[in-house]
Amino acid sequence: MADPSSLSTTQAFYDAIAVDYAELFRTELDVKPVDRALLTAFAELARTADLGPVADLGSGPGHVTALLHSLGVDVFGVDLSSEMVAVARRLHPGLRFDQGSMTALDLADGSLGGVVSWYSLIHTPPELLPAVFAEFHRLLVPGGHLLTAFQVGDRPMHVEQPFGHPVSLDFHRLSPDQVEDLLRATGFIVNVRTVREPVSTEKTRQACLLAQKPAIS
């Protein structure tokens, strides 16, 4: 898939805010027990399947990567923003973080046992989601699991000058029905879908889908 022009805007946005973002969200999972439960369930599935490494795509400062690692998952992070990768490496020196885009990763077909996209699809223009899901499907080994979380809604939220930095970006809110349909159309089985009410500083309901590339029988 050709890199969309939105990538450079997204990269510049997260390069500018990486340090502040890491500080703000450092302990966010502490107040989100349902999210921890979903990530823990994914970790158990990935560990039990034992099909290969898990990639946390759009890993940001790496706290989800670190949680999965603490749960025994062979996991590494990938992020578009070199500053986010630098922050994640500094905060989690024992873990691997690479710079790259989930739209086209330099990884072989079927080389991943699992994919996590935790609030990182939200900067992909919705019309490009089928191509991103096709990339996840290509990367996963048959039987591999995909976990994705996103804000629910039908209009993007425009963020201007976060933490006082002179950048702005659209955050796409998504329809769980549409994401589920797209995943099925790509060839995934959707095993779990949750929608929960907002907690903490969240403004909208939050969705999570657990899908799987069919195993070869």
Note the residues at the interface with ligand SAM (CB under 6 A). Answer: 7, 10, 14, 25, 57-60, 64, 78-81, 84, 101-103, 118-120, 123
For residue 143, how many other CB atoms are within 10 A of its CB? 15
Residue nearest to ligand SAM (CB): 60
Least distance in angstroms from the C-beta of 167 to ligand SAM: 12
Residue among 84 and 182 whose Cβ is closer to ligand SAM: 84
Q: Shortest approach of ligand SAM to residue 214 CB, angstroms?
A: 25
Q: How far is the CB of 217 from ligand SAM (least distance, A)?
A: 32
CA 114/CA 77 separation, integer angstroms? 12
Tokens of 70: 């603490």
Q: Of 118 and 188, which has the nearer Cβ to ligand SAM?
A: 118
CB neighbour class for 8 (10 Å; exposed up to 12, middle 13-18, buried from 19): exposed
Residue type, 148: T
- Longest CA span, the chain: 54
Q: Which residue's CB is nearer to ligand SAM, number 53 or number 143?
A: 53
Closer residue to ligand SAM, CB minimum distance, 86 or 192: 86
Beta strands in the chain (DSSP E): 54-57, 75-79, 97-99, 112-118, 140-151, 157-160, 168-171, 189-196, 206-212
Q: How far is the CB of 27 from ligand SAM (least distance, A)?
A: 11
Closer by beta carbon to ligand SAM, 168 or else 214: 168
Burial of 209 (0-12, 13-18, 19+ CB in 10 A): buried
Query: Shortest gap between Cβ of 142 and ligand SAM (angstroms)?
Result: 24
